[in-house]
Structure 1
Amino acid sequence: MSQSPRPVSRVRKTKGKGLRTRTGCTTCRERHVKCDETRPICRACQRGNRPCRYTVAASSVHSSDLSIILNTDNEIDQSTLLQEKSATAQGPSPDVQQQHVHPVEETTITTSVDEAPMTYFENRDVNRTIQNISCNDFGLPLEPAALNTTSPASTASGNLYSAEVAPLRWLNLLRRDATAIDDYQPGLAYHSVDTAGSADQPPTPGFFSSVGAVDGHLGQVESYNIEGFLELSSSESLLLRHFVENISSWIDLTDRHAQFSSSVPTMALNNRGLMLAILALSSRHQSLLSNPDKPPRIDRTVAVQYYNETLQYLQIAMKIPEYLKSDELLATVLLISTYEMIDGFESGWERHLKGVFWIQRSQLIHGESGGLKQAIWWAWLRQDIWAAFRGRRVILSYYTLRKDCAELDRWELTNRVVWLLGQCISFGSDTEVEAGRNNVQQRIHRAAFLTMRLDEWWIYFAPYRTELPAERIEGSAFNPIWINPPSCSAAVQIYYFARIMLAVHSPVMSGLKELERLQQTLDDAVNYIGGIACTTNNTAAIIISTQCLFAAGLNTRDLAKREQIARLLRSHQSCTGWPVHDLAQDLQAEWTLASSPMNVRT
């Protein structure tokens, strides 16, 4: 008599703490292991070197949270949101109740230079306070990992927002700062822009536009893109063409795929918000390009109208959870930031740069993400570097690049020198200069290591920087230097910009000879930047050249070179329309304040 097979008993999972299906990080729940729920990374994930994720579904962000985020004019603290959520939640768990009773304790973490390159924190709780990072490590030891600087206190302090909330916080900043004209009417098109040469006619709203009209029911559908393609008027088509042929190159300067001149316009044909942002930026840029014989072709009012239409679209589209993490939103965010950069609204632009930083950090977007996200990150970083330089502050990003220079191609090396410039801008910020007074030796070590990294970059970039002497310009204080392609000429100017920052802000300990060496470094950098600027004719490279010329002008005492730099700056600004104010006048003010360029930025 055969025996029946023995039934296999089902092994039940223990009901101990940490093994529940509704608590713990996502990684531990999927692996069915115990989780101590330590933020930002639990011990189980830390031991296994796994990504630790705390996921909150988009639906868990209550409507009360959204109303607070969109309508408040003050900073939202953690207790406000917790009270709102506790009022609407039914039957909170004991862990949540304990979170309401005991305030979140802020701890200070001193990050070391040996941290993993990805130093972002993952936290899905709405508006949970991020742990402060100490800025005491401003001076780094002379080790290979010393360049992996962590987040400065001015950027890491504050709040870390989830991927669902960060875009809404950014939109709130936009809504507070945007100023609509009194007679602005939503949905009106702007087809009266003269495209046949009669630029004397002022633009006035025409009829309803398929682009400007925002679908009020957008938040009730599943997709934020339309079916088919947007229909553009003739004037809107010209604005789109102007963006593709001119402005997109500003963003694509260091992107091998030139995605803002190729794929982004294609995306915009299916997304109203992205198209409106393109039209706003393009019309604002055209309003800055003036002909001596004629007034501007497009009035700034047209750009303001498109800008406000973009904000209206965003307010509706952000109700769709998928849109908050889409490439369309990221591209729109960057275009709006570029609009504010050329619009000259410095204080608003500064705040919105930080808002873009929230969005990118919440989605773990960085300089090695790949695809469009990576291109957007680098374009944003170049904007933040210029804003940080003018504001004498540290840059917002604290991501550290992983690859060595030996592994990089021409495009990656161009981006690498941008990142190195950002480190040098932070090195010369008022915060780090003041902190360096208490530890000069550490600051000397960091300056030496940054110099070593720049030297390394210069060696690996040598095959791509073919320098050709150009014809001498009569009356020029510089020897013209021709470097092609434009991205390479911009990279060389950025390199010398970084050299200037180190030469000006490095402590001097060895006396007169060291001062003479630093002065020679300054003179060489000014000569290279000025020589390349004399031959730069690419619009995107001119934007970088303008910034580098300004830095060179701050640090030269030669009167002939000062006059030449002022002329080059005005020539650059007339070509690009950026910035809206006269940088040569800013230089003149700086020259008046200090007699020595070594004291201008110190």
Structure 2
Amino acid sequence: MHHPSHTQSLDLVAAAVLISTYEMIDDSIQNWKRRIEGIFWIQQFQDIDGECKGLRSALWWAWLQQDTWAALLERRRTLNIWKSERGIASLTAPELARYAWYLLGQCVNYISEEERQEGTVRRSDRGNELLQMLKEWREALPSEYNPLPLTSEEDIFPAIWINPASYAAALQIQSLSLVLVVLQYPSLGFTVNDRRPKHILTAAMSTICGIARSAHADDMAANLVSMNCLYKAAICLHDEHERLALLELLDISQQRLRWPEKSLRKELELVYSQNTFRTMMKWGHSA
């Protein structure tokens, strides 16, 4: 950074993103947070955003994924200030896959401590807007996102096979986004007899768990997304058999990754054993 020739270098951004990844794996939360913030400012200086081309674009989206997971962990807004000017219907199949991460970031903002302080009516309007965006994304998916034929013997969360794995991960991300918004949606937004929340959550969990069940054992990226989605969406399950199925899938994903060191299954088992709505929601805000 002391050399002017390096201030516009993509090597600088690439190195920072790689170091940030290692800090995430090493569970160095404070270092990871500072690194993510540093990358944000470097990208601002270099005018890098989500619609750049080539390596610039790849670095920005890699950074966004880390920032989104970190923000969800810390209950804060994402650092991203970029907004896509393209309509969802104009995106190609690969672009739709990465756009799912942008939508997740918007939903993480929605459940952040900052936005939860807003008035109920405003939160209801924003919740409706996000749900509509997520619906538009799903409706815009081309045939490449359709599940491929697969024989599944499981009665609970049958396996869903979608190829390539990046498209499958995008569907899991979109499903997690739905779970986050619905669980934090103001109560006045749904009537007592409204079945939409339950229907949305049921479909979302079937997608997250079904895709996790078909993830290849050697695909670390697929298992990482599955593990995070399973862990973050687990609070909406109340059926004992569904909880057990999710815990088994979570355990498999974590064993394949061998990360993090703490058992996520044990954490969820503790939450489930307390079995109160207040505890579940509190855990959902802090997990």
Aligned counterparts of 1:587 and 1:324: Cα–Cα separation in 2: 44
Aligned counterparts of 1:586 and 1:359: Cα–Cα separation in 2: 37
Alignment of 1:357-506 (within 5 A): 357-433=40-116, 435-436=117-118, 439-473=119-153, 477-506=156-185
- Is 2:77–2:109's contact at 8 Å kept on the other side of the alignment? yes
Structure 2 match to 1:332: 15
- Is 2:127–2:181's contact at 8 Å kept on the other side of the alignment? yes
Amino acid at match of 2:72: F
Aligned counterparts of 1:583 and 1:391: Cα–Cα separation in 2: 17
Amino acid at match of 1:459: E
- Is 1:469–1:480's contact at 8 Å kept on the other side of the alignment? no
Shift of 1:484: 0.9
**TM, length-normalised to structure 2:** 0.91
- Is 1:344–1:580's contact at 8 Å kept on the other side of the alignment? no
Aligned counterparts of 1:377 and 1:577: Cα–Cα separation in 2: 27
Shift of 1:594: 5.1
2:201 counterpart of 1:518: no
Aligned counterparts of 2:38 and 2:271: Cα–Cα separation in 1: 30
Aligned counterparts of 1:581 and 1:424: Cα–Cα separation in 2: 27
- Is 1:343–1:580's contact at 8 Å kept on the other side of the alignment? no
2:3 to 292, 295, 320: 320
Classify 1:364/1:460 alpha carbon distance in 2 versus 1 (closer, same or farther; 3 Å). same
Moved segments of 4+, more than 6 Å: none
Aligned counterparts of 1:566 and 1:346: Cα–Cα separation in 2: 25
C-alpha distance after superposition, 1:113-155 (max 9, x if no partner): xxxxxxxxxxxxxxxxxxxxxxxxxxxxxxxxxxxxxxxxxxx
**TM, length-normalised to structure 1:** 0.45
Structure 2 match to 1:207: none
2:238 to 557, 563, 570: 557
Structure 2 match to 1:566: 247
Amino acid at match of 2:260: P
More contact order relative to length (CA 8 Å, sep ≥ 6) = 2
Alignment of 1:250-261 (within 5 A): none
Classify 1:407/1:480 alpha carbon distance in 2 versus 1 (closer, same or farther; 3 Å). same
Alignment of 1:235-254 (within 5 A): none
Structure 2 match to 1:347: 30
Identity of matched residues, %: 34
Aligned counterparts of 2:94 and 2:3: Cα–Cα separation in 1: 35
Name the larger-Rg structure: 1
- Is 1:486–1:541's contact at 8 Å kept on the other side of the alignment? yes
- Is 1:342–1:580's contact at 8 Å kept on the other side of the alignment? no
- Is 1:594–1:600's contact at 8 Å kept on the other side of the alignment? no
Say which SS state the counterpart of residue 401 (structure 1) adopts. coil
Say which SS state the counterpart of residue 380 (structure 1) adopts. helix
Aligned counterparts of 2:64 and 2:232: Cα–Cα separation in 1: 18
Classify 1:585/1:431 alpha carbon distance in 2 versus 1 (closer, same or farther; 3 Å). farther
Aligned counterparts of 2:105 and 2:270: Cα–Cα separation in 1: 25
Shift of 1:494: 0.6
Tell me the number of residue pairs that the alignment of Structure 1 and Structure 2 aligns: 280
| Higher share of residues assigned helix | 2
Aligned counterparts of 2:213 and 2:282: Cα–Cα separation in 1: 27
Amino acid at match of 1:553: A
Structure 2 match to 1:92: none
C-alpha distance after superposition, 1:511-555 (max 9, x if no partner): 3123x4212211221111101100011322221111111122122
Shift of 1:469: 5.0
Aligned counterparts of 2:270 and 2:34: Cα–Cα separation in 1: 26
Alignment of 1:288-307 (within 5 A): none
